[in-house]
Amino acid sequence: MTKPQAKGRITKLRQEINHHRYLYHVKDTQEISDAALDSLKHELAQLEQQFPDLITPDSPTQRVGGKPLPELRQVQHAVPMLSLQDAFSDEELSQWETRNKKIVRAAYDYFIELKIDGVAMALMYEDGILIRAATRGDGRVGEDVTHNIKTIEAIPLRLNQPHPKRLEVRGEVYLLKQDFARLNKQRAKQGLKLFANPRNIAAGSIRQLDPAVAAERPLRFFAWEITAGAVLNTRTDEYDLLQKLGFPVPPDAKLCRDLEAVSRYLIKEDKQRNRRPFLVDGAVIKINDLNISQRLGVVGKAPRGSIAYKFAAEEATTIVEDIVVQVGRTGVLTPVAHLRPVSVAGTTVSRATLHNADEIKRKDVRIGDTVIIRKAGDIIPEVVRALPKLRPPRTKPFSMPSKCPICRSPVIKEPDGVAYRCTNRNCFPVQREKILHAVGSGGFDIDGLGDKIVEQLLQAGLIKDAPDVWQLTVGDLLPLERFADKSAQKLIDEISQHKIIPLARFLAALSIPQVGTVTAQDLAREFRSLDRIRDASVEKLAGVSGVGEKIAQATYDFFRDKTVQKIIQKYETAGIRITAPETDGALSSKTFLFTGSMSDMTRDEAKQRVTALGGKVASAAGQEVDYVVVGEDAGSKADKARKMGLTIITPQQFMKMIK
């Protein structure tokens, strides 16, 4: 990106981010998810890093914190409400450990708890009675929201005995996913604006002036810390005491001996987090020994003794580079967005379904748009929405093609008014066979791309033709049936190892009508490059031995077809390298005829070896044949060759020649 381009993009990103920050902090509402906003901030930060002189003091990257509601009373926190440093990988966790061990040389274990996606709250108790509840605010001064917090049933208004004289407990106010869905359903019925996520409801309800609103919302609470009133040695003791006093705590907390155990916990919880009834956005890893934690102190606004591990976000923003129309098994056309690759939920996403024409129209997704991509669990990635304010100038709304992008047959709109369909019933099966032929043993010979997988890839809109397979990523395969991390990686590796192909095989992979393996070899040997075959006249093509008038015409027409030209272009873009047959190979300018079966290799393999070594393969006995390889149960071809006085050799002699 050039500097003026970056400047334009930075300005737009700042406006968009500021708009969402304002909605969130001042209006208590949200139009896009935190993850999507984070993604925009990330893009901005990266651009500013690339062009540091474009950083301005008012850039959203240059500030932290939000504005308090002026109507709520302010509360000074006796112990500041800190935040946590984030980690996104095992590596970052081990760096955290290394840093800490340099400060405090001691052996310790970790207490790990689910990180609940809610709103932090400080609760003050005197003589066992809840006297005040405050939000975090800027960490030093929060807002008094006691009137609303008292409506939350999970928060004890009176502590269990025995309890300290004064106690401060901190924790997270949250909402169950099912309650969030129910509330939004109700609001939709009443024609009210929908909430973006459960945390958004929690935050909004807590900061209301009228407690009746909070009372109507099924808010819940998990306690995660005691900041005053108890002398404790470990996080485990703290967790136990909180429960004894009457507080709910995050479930399935665990004491882990080392970071390896922590890592196992994280993998397990990441997998099952979608099944939890509340939103979990990571885990908090805390040094269990509170004295060690204390000694480590604070850096910036975060204690060194704890760290927040964030699970990969399920949403991110990226740019639509193209919208490609896919033809499914039943002929239905599906638009697919091709994206600038982006990491979502731990995998790289480069394509996302746009479902159908109505959906694109409703979302008004255009080529060049910045979009929010969502990929939850095993779901195929989808485009959530476009961000029209980040749209470049001169974009066009998308429209469905009137001709099938594969077979050029007319496209009709279904009576249901949503789906578009190719009118050629054979379109999908023919395309599937073509792809299978190209990647199969006569073409690129890619292991693991069988009919089931090719069919799935076509169905999911991940490929449209054979060259598309080189654009596949592990992230594309993972949501499909039959794929796990290892098998997906294996197939991607296998595909990327098949980028070099002899010309004859490439011609076979193209599925030129009437051109079989032998003709492909004849053409390859004669012309020695794809360009020369492509540019050859019908006469020149027909001049090749073994190529008749009809085949020459079919080949000539084939290379004049726009779809074919596009496919060849796509192979080039994918980095496919076509190699010419050797002229000075061991069998150069020798012609072989095979008849009967051979014990050491199949006839096809033998033919391939001959061409690879620069020789030719004939299909019938003729004077141009140098050697006739006669195997077992040879038929009339062998007799004819003998009659013609051609040189006959055994398969064993042939094997010696090619060694």
Q: Which is nearer to ligand IVH, 284 or 390 (CB)?
A: 284
Told to judge if 115 belongs to the known catalytic residues of this protein, a careful annotator would answer: yes
How near is the Cβ of 140 to ligand IVH at its closest, in Å?
14
Residue 287 near ligand IVH by CB under 6 A: no
Instruction: Give min distance, CB of 34 to ligand IVH, in A.
Output: 12
* Nearest distance, CB of residue 113 and ligand IVH, angstroms: 4
Site size for ligand IVH, by CB under 6 A?
Answer: 15
Pick the piece of the chain touching ligand IVH (CB under 6 A) from 28-36, 113-121, 238-246, 513-521. Answer: 113-121
Peptide bond into 162 cis (omega under 30): yes
Residue 210 burial (10 A CB sphere; 0-12, 13-18, 19+): exposed
Continuous segment of H or E residues that includes residue 425: none
**Position 227 contacts ligand IVH (CB under 6 A):** no
Q: What are phi and psi of 259, to 5 degrees?
A: -65, -20
Kindly state the smallest distance separating residue 213's Cβ from ligand IVH, in Å: 22
Applying CB under 6 A, which part among 111-119, 179-187, 351-359, 444-452 lies near ligand IVH? 111-119
d(CA 255, CA 79): 26
Helix (H) or strand (E) holding 299: strand 298-299
Sole residue written with tokens 């020459």: 552
Long-range contacts of 300-307 (CB under 8 A, 24+ apart): 301/80, 301/82, 301/83, 301/139, 302/82, 302/83, 302/84, 302/85, 303/82, 303/84, 304/99, 304/100, 304/103, 305/100, 306/84, 307/84, 307/85, 307/86, 307/87, 307/93, 307/96
- Among 109-117, 200-208, 341-349, 407-415, the segment contacting ligand IVH (CB under 6 A): 109-117
Q: Is 238 a residue that touches ligand IVH (CB under 6 A)?
A: no
Max CA-CA distance within the chain?
Answer: 116
Report the nearest approach of ligand IVH to the CB of residue 171 (Å): 8
Strands 500-502 and 577-579, sheet pairing? parallel
End-to-end CA distance of the chain: 54
According to CB under 6 A, which residues from 161 to 190 bind ligand IVH?
172
Contact segment (CB under 6 A) with ligand IVH among 55-63, 303-311, 357-365, 550-558 equals: 303-311
Contact of 245 with 230, CB cutoff 8 Å: no
- Report whether 544 contacts 624 (CB < 8 A): no
Residue 141 CB-density burial (10 A; 0-12 exposed, 13-18 middle, 19+ buried):
middle
Tokens of 528: 């020695």
Out of 115, 375, 607, 616, the active site residue is 115
CB of 159 to ligand IVH, least distance (A): 20
Q: Per CB under 6 A, does 306 bind ligand IVH?
A: yes
Report the residue from 308, 323, 324, 655 that binds ligand IVH according to the rule CB under 6 A: 308
Closer to ligand IVH by CB, 228 or 407: give it: 228
**Interaction mask 205-224, ligand IVH, x per CB under 6 A:** -------------------x
For ligand IVH, which is the closer residue by CB, 233 or 565?
233
Q: Which is nearer to ligand IVH, 133 or 610 (CB)?
A: 133
Q: Quick check: 606 and 629 in contact, CB under 8 A?
A: yes
The token pair that represents 614 in the structure block: 């620069």
Q: How far is the CB of 429 from ligand IVH (least distance, A)?
A: 53
- Whether 331 and 427 have beta carbons less than 8 Å apart is answered as yes
* Shortest distance, position 154 Cβ to ligand IVH, whole Å: 14
Cβ-based nearer residue to ligand IVH, 224 or 506 = 224
* DSSP run (H or E) holding 420: strand 420-422
Does the footprint of ligand IVH cover residue 142 (CB under 6 A)?
A: no
Q: Give the C-alpha distances (Å, rounded to integers) separating 76 from 79, 136, 300.
A: 9, 10, 19
The mark string for 247-276 relative to ligand IVH (x by CB under 6 A, - otherwise) is ---x--------------------------
Least separation, in Å, of the C-beta of 75 and ligand IVH? 16
- In this structure, are residues 647 and 621 in contact, taking their beta carbons and an 8 Å threshold? no
Burial annotation 295-329 (CB, 10 A radius, 16+ → b, else e):
ebeeeeeebbbbbbbbbbbbbbbbbbeebbbbbbe
467 binds ligand IVH (CB under 6 A): no
366-385: contacts with ligand IVH (CB under 6 A) = none
* Residue closer to ligand IVH (CB basis): 115 or 464: 115
Q: Which is nearer to ligand IVH, 305 or 461 (CB)?
A: 305
The residue behind tokens 């098949």 is 498
| 475 in Cβ contact with 348 (< 8 Å) | yes
Measured from the CB atom, the residue of 268 and 362 that comes closer to ligand IVH is 268
Three-class SS of residue 567? helix
Which residue, 469, 480, 471, 473, is CA-closest to 446? 469
Q: Which one of residues 16, 225, 382, 468 is an interface residue with ligand IVH (CB under 6 A)?
A: 225
User: Which one among 116, 196, 390, 472 touches ligand IVH, defined by CB under 6 A?
Assistant: 116
C-alpha 177/C-alpha 278 separation (Å) is 5
The secondary structure of residue 423, as a DSSP letter, is: S
Stretch that binds ligand IVH, among 110-118, 357-365, 511-519, 617-625 (CB under 6 A): 110-118
Instruction: Considering only residues 47 through 106, tell me which ones interact with ligand IVH, judged by CB under 6 A.
Output: 82-84
Work out how close the CB of 172 gets to ligand IVH at its nearest, in angstroms, rounded to a whole number. Answer: 5
For the record, the structure tokens of 349 come out as 């996403």
d(CA 63, CA 55): 12
Q: Which is nearer to ligand IVH, 281 or 465 (CB)?
A: 281
E strand or H helix at 491: helix 485-496
Q: Does 113 bind ligand IVH (CB under 6 A)?
A: yes
Nearer to ligand IVH, 250 or 651 (CB): 250
Give me the residues that bind ligand IVH (CB under 6 A), please.
82-84, 113, 115-116, 120, 172, 224-225, 250, 284, 303, 306, 308
Q: Catalytic residues, which ones?
A: 115
